[in-house]
Structure 1
């Protein structure tokens, strides 16, 4: 009878004798820890930046009308001059770098240690301007850039590929930013890599989890938005839950389509102005965001974390047009060209949708509808429903709502798919066709 398994002593000897395998593991896990630390650094800088902005805004309510456009222009100028690959969310850049047809030189412009450092500073600066952006999407590009740098330290013949490092880094960024290791793993499978390498999946998952643990060890093991208090769900949730899913899917699909059209080279006169006068255009976007923020009493400034948390806690202080105002502020912030993500603002928009429908229907379980709105809008914009419901479930400790969150994510994503192609896939094509170009001589690449 043939033996199906190698004898234990022989297997142990083979495992210990291959030094390249062990060095590769140490290098990958070490850089995973560094990726987690880099996300923690960006988190701290972003929080401090928001504190600076809100101190200015609370002292002089009109200050954002000057502060926001001036800071937006400064951030866009620095981005275009020194870090053109750091513009926007960062997720499309990582997806473009994952394309095997992307030349190595272009890949270094999209993901590298240098770009990661620029992304950290410029994303924080965008939040200090008061723009409606987030740090979670940029965490993907930051962590991917750190992990990609590990290839310099891997021994020859290690077998670890650039593609694997980028996938692990991007997923580690999500895991560390949201404190959602499972969400990071699913993001790697659903969004970054449709066909993951099975042979090294264990090492990659370990890297993702380690990055999340680094963030947890520093920031604590609390959930992102606390714990929602949901009583036993009944069939009474069906109608308002369906309204939330359909509304989130419709608005999320429109938001995705709007962003894709805005960044399309054939978007018309405004895109022509954006290409010809990027700094003036950024100033206009910044001023519009400031006007919206002043009109909303400051509630549309920043990532929206505090607003979302207050809604989940039953403290609804948002105006009736909050969803529309945050929608516009987030679109204009992204269109301005600053480095910044849309995950956190999308969660806030979704929370506002859930809160509005809870007030409209008089449903007693407002927190449940808010969680459904967060899941639905994020799933609709990203068209990654499994990632969306897992992220929200882990952020609010909503394990009692697993089936409801899943159903909402799938419904909203299906509705959005009728209105718009996948957002990040479409933006990735833009980065492939129009690679970043610096307006000054490029600095020496530290990875050469």
Structure 2
């Protein structure tokens, strides 16, 4: 009897000791998840850069005959697209698209996290898709890989507690945003704002996200350097007399963001029906898209890729109004096709590039109508980037901070707030929901899963 009491007291002490140490252990694991995400995200970025460089070198000097060169480029990039889409279709269908809706579904226990499949498929499939020249961003793959690394660490350490698993999954997602944009605060806010309906907030979980994002940022900067993603000329404060103009910019961005979301969702539904006819059509679509955009990099490079390379030219006023208008229309169509097709890539970067174009178009119009105002097109581009992001993703705070961290445009905080709030207000007024929430809802509907139904 005495031994039983002693054993019970020992067990209680052990449980109490574990509970006291558990938050500390979660923080240690969160730092590991962040470091792994920072390392893999950096390797992913380096890989994309090397693939693009090799492809451009091949087209630039190896072949002199334009027809032979075009055939070679189309064939290579089409093969890359076919590999990317085949990997998704054959091994991990949940790795198609950005992957962020899958992360949100995992936090609701409505979607599986098969990290042993998703990690290699998203990494190598993403390299092929983004390296081919398709209009996609690297942040979606980085976020999904980060969240899957969180689940991998949880499984490796035999964490059975659901809240602990979810904390590491969310930590990996925030670390993914941090790594993609060298923006730790944005990674934290992304989890708080975009995943507010799925993430369980506790003191320990929020601290874990903080630790993971900081850890990811440190590793990223050790590998890639500490410079901002976009090199923007020094910004000056916006005169208060012009501040009202950016409310109208935000309202316009809200309309365009809502339209963009509608077109993407419509395209996804149409292509889903198209793919159901024959499975190979998914791979064939990827090959044609990748080959086409690979070919376009030779003739119209401005409408290919994520769009970050385009932004400095916009800031330096290299384009007139009508060429910019055409460029916007072409990139919008390209973004809808590439992202809507189910490629393993993200939408953040293309959206930010579209927003920059719209911002410059707005600035050109304002300079014409109000020549007495000192309007900087670079300022309008920064505001456009944040505003369209806020309207499409419905995350205004994340949009504000992510653009400030990417461009070091902290002096534009007031017009950024006005633009993003106006854009979100207009998108909400038009009935537009977050793109990721809508994609997750459509995925669950296809599987016959109710949002409140647990696996």
Alpha-carbon separation, structure 2, partners of 1:73 and 1:158 = 39
Cα 1:75–1:157 shift into 2, 3 Å: closer
| Contact 1:289/1:333 (<8 A) preserved | no
**Higher share in helix:** 2
Note the C-alpha offset of 1:48: 1.6
Alpha-carbon separation, structure 2, partners of 1:118 and 1:71 = 13
Q: Structure 1 residue 361 and structure 2 residue 362: aligned?
A: no
- Aligned runs of 1:331-410 on 2, under 5 Å? 331-362=336-367, 364-410=375-421
- Aligned runs of 1:115-264 on 2, under 5 Å? 115-154=118-157, 161-194=164-197, 196-200=200-204, 201-238=206-243, 240-264=245-269
Selected match of 2:52 from 45, 50, 54 = 50
Alpha-carbon separation, structure 2, partners of 1:419 and 1:73 = 36
Structure 2 gap ranges (5+):
1-15, 368-373, 449-455
Alpha-carbon separation, structure 2, partners of 1:53 and 1:157 = 46
Note the C-alpha offset of 1:290: 5.7
**Which position in structure 1 is the counterpart of 2:37?**
35
**Which position in structure 1 is the counterpart of 2:113?**
108
Give the superposed CA RMSD.
Answer: 2.8
Alpha-carbon separation, structure 2, partners of 1:246 and 1:57 = 42
**Which position in structure 2 is the counterpart of 1:8?**
none
Cα 1:319–1:54 shift into 2, 3 Å: farther
Q: Secondary structure at the match of 2:203?
A: coil
- Aligned runs of 1:20-31 on 2, under 5 Å? 20=22, 22-31=24-33
Note the C-alpha offset of 1:291: 7.3
Alpha-carbon separation, structure 1, partners of 2:345 and 2:258 = 20
| Contact 1:68/1:131 (<8 A) preserved | no
TM-score (norm 1): 0.84
Alpha-carbon separation, structure 1, partners of 2:177 and 2:250 = 24
**Which position in structure 2 is the counterpart of 1:445?**
none
Alpha-carbon separation, structure 1, partners of 2:176 and 2:219 = 11
Alpha-carbon separation, structure 2, partners of 1:25 and 1:246 = 41
Alpha-carbon separation, structure 1, partners of 2:162 and 2:347 = 35
Structure 1 gap ranges (5+):
1-13, 437-448
For residues 177-231 of structure 1, what are the alpha-carbon distances to aligned partners after superposition, in whole Å with 9 as ceiling and x for unaligned? 1111111111001112335422312233112221122112221221111244222
| Contact 1:23/1:154 (<8 A) preserved | no
Q: Mean Cα displacement is larger for which, 145-154 or 169-178?
A: 145-154
Alpha-carbon separation, structure 2, partners of 1:202 and 1:15 = 20
Q: Mean Cα displacement is larger for which, 140-149 or 355-364?
A: 355-364
Alpha-carbon separation, structure 2, partners of 1:421 and 1:319 = 28
Cα 1:121–1:128 shift into 2, 3 Å: same
Selected match of 1:307 from 302, 305, 310 = 310
**Which position in structure 1 is the counterpart of 2:282?**
278
Q: Mean Cα displacement is larger for which, 219-228 or 21-30?
A: 21-30
**Which position in structure 2 is the counterpart of 1:5?**
none
| Contact 1:241/1:408 (<8 A) preserved | yes
Alpha-carbon separation, structure 1, partners of 2:82 and 2:131 = 13
Alpha-carbon separation, structure 1, partners of 2:285 and 2:158 = 47
Q: Mean Cα displacement is larger for which, 71-80 or 87-96?
A: 71-80
Note the C-alpha offset of 1:411: 1.0
Cα 1:416–1:50 shift into 2, 3 Å: farther
**Which position in structure 2 is the counterpart of 1:420?**
432
Alpha-carbon separation, structure 2, partners of 1:288 and 1:81 = 23
Note the C-alpha offset of 1:95: 0.8
- Aligned runs of 1:319-338 on 2, under 5 Å? 319-338=324-343
Cα 1:255–1:25 shift into 2, 3 Å: same
Q: How many residues are paired up?
A: 412
Alpha-carbon separation, structure 1, partners of 2:52 and 2:249 = 30
| Contact 1:93/1:428 (<8 A) preserved | yes
For residues 328-363 of structure 1, what are the alpha-carbon distances to aligned partners after superposition, in whole Å with 9 as ceiling and x for unaligned? 111111123220011111111111111122223326
Q: Structure 1 residue 430 and structure 2 residue 439: aligned?
A: no
Alpha-carbon separation, structure 1, partners of 2:443 and 2:94 = 9
Cα 1:164–1:229 shift into 2, 3 Å: same
Alpha-carbon separation, structure 2, partners of 1:334 and 1:130 = 13
Alpha-carbon separation, structure 2, partners of 1:322 and 1:159 = 47
Cα 1:155–1:401 shift into 2, 3 Å: same
TM-score (norm 2): 0.82
